[in-house]
Amino acid sequence: MRWIIKIILFPISLVLSILTAFLTFLLGIGTAILYLLMMFCIFGAIASFLQKEVTIGIEALILGFLLSPYGIPMVGAAVIVFLQGINEAIKSI
């Protein structure tokens, strides 16, 4: 009976493994692109502060934080870890 469950769960585990590998690849590329955008936002914020446009500078800093590795990419990493946890739970059955 146990082998039937393993046969049923194997394709799900295989799909989750492929999905986490693909998402990890996309996260690496996306993080690099977002890092470049973050740098543009920070330089824009510095230029805004120098031109006495404080509200635009603060908005640019907030946007730069969201684009930084502690913002949107962290959400992607949490999703990947969650999917890996589900995959490990399926493999342990």
The per-residue pLDDT for range 25-45, each reduced to its tens digit, is 999 999 999 999 999 999 999
> pTM surpassing 0.85?
no
Could you tell me if 65 and 35 are in contact, meaning their C-beta atoms sit under 8 angstroms apart? Answer: no
Could you tell me if 45 and 64 are in contact, meaning their C-beta atoms sit under 8 angstroms apart? Answer: yes
At residue 92, does pLDDT exceed 90? no
Average pLDDT over the chain, rounded to an integer: 92
The better pLDDT of the pair 21, 1 is held by 21
pLDDT, position 3: 75
pLDDT, position 22: 97
CA dihedral 37, 42, 48, 53 (to 10 degrees): 100
What span, in angstroms and rounded, lies between the C-alpha atoms of 39 and 19? 30
